[in-house]
Structure 1
């Protein structure tokens, strides 16, 4: 039995359809990240799962039981909010145990649950403090502790790290990952941050305009993007996208002398004259080796520390290469950039769908 089933969920506000038929099933212990830009519908979907919003149609089942008309407190879920939602007048101990207190859990049992959660989150020394005496990261740990003590079927996280600075976000990502590996809990996690999605998820649902554009493991989303949108949304810097057409079984960049052999796996994309988008990730490019290559004139080079990010022109199209930091070159020099055939992605220029999806 699945821990969570989302079946053809639709949500309409007046004439605007915010969710357009969402279908996902999670097995027990899965970590699903809903990833997308603002307005794509990910938080609306989370709120429907939580019972904070009603679906126009469809069904949500937790542990096989439909919960669409069940009060949030009776859904066997726990939610961690972006704003922490802590009670400022209560101590950390009472904040963590507040839900248990409202359920009339006996004080000794409640105290043990709170202290166990605090030990797990390494905040045992903070139990007598008020939220105003805590850092952002400590407040988020308290909010997570309050969810943990309820031992729900499903945990829901609504952009929980967006209020933290970069260093704290990284620390809390590690903490959430560690907790999930220890507790094997089922999680639905909303974020617009691709790094959070890639590092935390067992599966990612990339959402766009109320639909799931692609659902897969982080490796599938990164290495085999189904559409141009997924290809550009996941990856930093984003995937290079170059206009190309097929000529005599070669990929030809317009208004240039750049041409590449068409990989065999794209055989059905080989119609002469077909307009395509050629995708290559910046980190797949290198200045030495073998395999397909293209020449590009250096425009700008930026040293980030661990890598040299080079912006260059291939014909009249701009691309980015992530190279080792000590790569030797001169301004305006032409670099020969090599890459493996497997690094080539092809998308239909009209539909934006990966050519591999057509086969």
Structure 2
């Protein structure tokens, strides 16, 4: 029995359809990340699971039980919001235990649950403070603690780290990963940050315009993107996209004489003259290597990020990004030979769908 089943969920507002048939099945202990840009429907789907919004069609089941029409407090879920939503006049201790207090849980059981959650989140020394005396990261830990004490079947997280600075986001990502590994609870997590998705998820649902573009493990999403949208949305720096056409046994780049050989397994498709897009991730390039395939790139901009050097250049007018070792030296106007392996090429047809080799 699946821990959470989302079956053909639709959501409409008048003539506007924001969710267009979402189907996901999660086993117990999975960490699902709903990933997409603003307006794709990910928060709407989370709110429907939580009971904060009603679906226009479809069913949601938790532990085999349909929760359509069930009050949020009876769904056996706990939710962590982006805005923390702490009670400013209550201590950390009472904020964490407030939900249990409202459910008339015995004081000794409540105390034990609060203490255990505080220990897990390493905020035992903050229990007597009020939210105004806490940092952003500490407040988010309190919000997570309030969800933890519920011991629900499913945790829901709505962009919980977006209000934190970069360093705190990284620390909290690690804490959330650690907690999930310890508790093995089913999680549905909404974010637009692909780094959060890649580091936290056991599976990612990439959403676009109310639909799921691709559902898979982080490795599948990154190494085998199903569409051009997924290929460009996941990855930093983003995947290079080169427009080309088939000419005989090669791909010829648009507006260029530069050609790349047709990979094995593609002798019949795409057809002669068919337009395709070749995707190559920036980290797939190598310098000073005669093995494999290569492109000669004119260097335009060089950016040092610390662990890598990002080179922005062009091949006959088509933009190229390459990630190379930080000690490499380039100047504007230099021509650089970038080598890569044949299996580093991701091919997409004119409709943006992956061509499988």
Q: What TM-score do the two structures reach when normalised by structure 1?
A: 0.98
Alpha-carbon contact 1:262-1:270 (below 8 Å) kept:
no
Q: In the alignment, which residue of structure 1 is the partner of 2:2? A: 2
Q: Which residue of 2 aligns with 1:227?
A: 227
Q: How does 1:55-134 map to 2 (within 5 A)?
A: 55-134=55-134
- Name the structure 2 match of 1:277: 277
User: Which whole-Å CA distance do the structure 2 matches of 1:190 and 1:270 have between them?
Assistant: 37
Structure 2 counterpart SS, 1:108: helix
| Equivalent runs, 1:156-195 vs 2, <5 Å | 156-195=156-195
Runs of 4+ in 1 over 3 A off after TM superposition: 265-268
Write the distance in 1 (CA, Å) between the matches of 2:324 and 2:267. 31
Report the 3-state secondary structure (helix = DSSP H, G, I; strand = E; otherwise coil) of the residue aligned with 1:252.
strand
The structural deviation recorded for 1:45 is 0.1
For residues 266 and 108 of structure 2, the distance between their equivalents in structure 1, rounded to whole angstroms, comes to: 65
Distance, in Å, in 2 between the alignment partners of 1:147 and 1:206 is: 25
Equivalent position of 1:292 in the other structure: 293
Instruction: Find the aligned partners of 2:144 and 2:195 in 1 and give their Cα distance.
Output: 20
Instruction: Quote how far apart the aligned CAs of 1:328 are.
Output: 3.2
Give distance in 1, aligned partners of 2:305 and 2:85: 37
Deviation at 1:279, TM superposition (A): 0.5
Matched, 1:322 2:338: no
1:135-214 → structure 2 map (5 Å cutoff): 135-214=135-214
1:97 and 1:114 in contact (8 A); partners too: yes
Structure-1 residue corresponding to 2:308: 307
Equivalence for 2:37? 37
CA distance in structure 2 between the aligned counterparts of 1:266 and 1:95, rounded to whole angstroms: 60
SS, match of residue 256 in structure 2: coil
CA distance in 1, matches of 2:22, 2:270: 34
- Give the superposition deviation at 1:107: 0.4
Cα distance in 1 for residues equivalent to 2:127 and 2:52: 29
| Conserved 8 A contact 1:249-1:272 | no
C-alpha distance in 1, partners of 2:191/2:347?
28
Measure, in 2, the Cα distance between the counterparts of 1:18 and 1:186. 25
The residue number in structure 2 matching 1:333 is 334
After TM superposition, the structure 1 stretch with the greater mean CA deviation from structure 2, 151-160 or 291-300, is: 291-300
Instruction: Give the conservation status (yes or no) of the 8 Å contact 2:9–2:19.
Output: yes
SS at match of 2:205: strand
1:255, CA displacement in angstroms?
2.0
Please give the alpha-carbon distance, in whole angstroms, between the structure 1 residues aligned to 2:268 and 2:22: 30
Structure 1 residues 73-113: Cα deviation after superposition (integer angstroms, max 9, x where no partner):
00000000000011111110010001110111110110010
1: CA distance between counterparts of 2:270 and 2:232?
Answer: 24
Q: Which secondary structure state, in structure 2, belongs to the residue aligned with residue 37 of structure 1?
A: coil
Please give the per-residue CA displacement for 1:244-284, whole angstroms capped at 9, x wherever unaligned: 01111101102222101111133443311110011001111
Q: Is the 8 A contact 1:278 1:347 kept in 2?
A: yes
Quote how far apart the aligned CAs of 1:303 are.
1.1
Q: Is the 8 A contact 2:302 2:330 kept in 1?
A: no
Q: What is the root-mean-square deviation in Å for CA atoms of aligned residues?
A: 0.9
Distance in 2 between residues matched to 1:127 and 1:270, nearest whole Å:
63
Deviations 1:129-154 (A, max 9, x none): 11111000000000000000010000
Q: In the comparison of the two structures, how many residue pairs are matched?
A: 356
Whether 1:236 aligns to 2:236 is: yes
Unpaired segments of 5 or more residues in structure 2?
none
CA deviation vs aligned residue, 1:306-352 (integer Å, no higher than 9, x gap): 11110111112111001101123343111111001111011112x11
Q: Are 2:26 and 1:21 equivalent residues in the alignment?
A: no
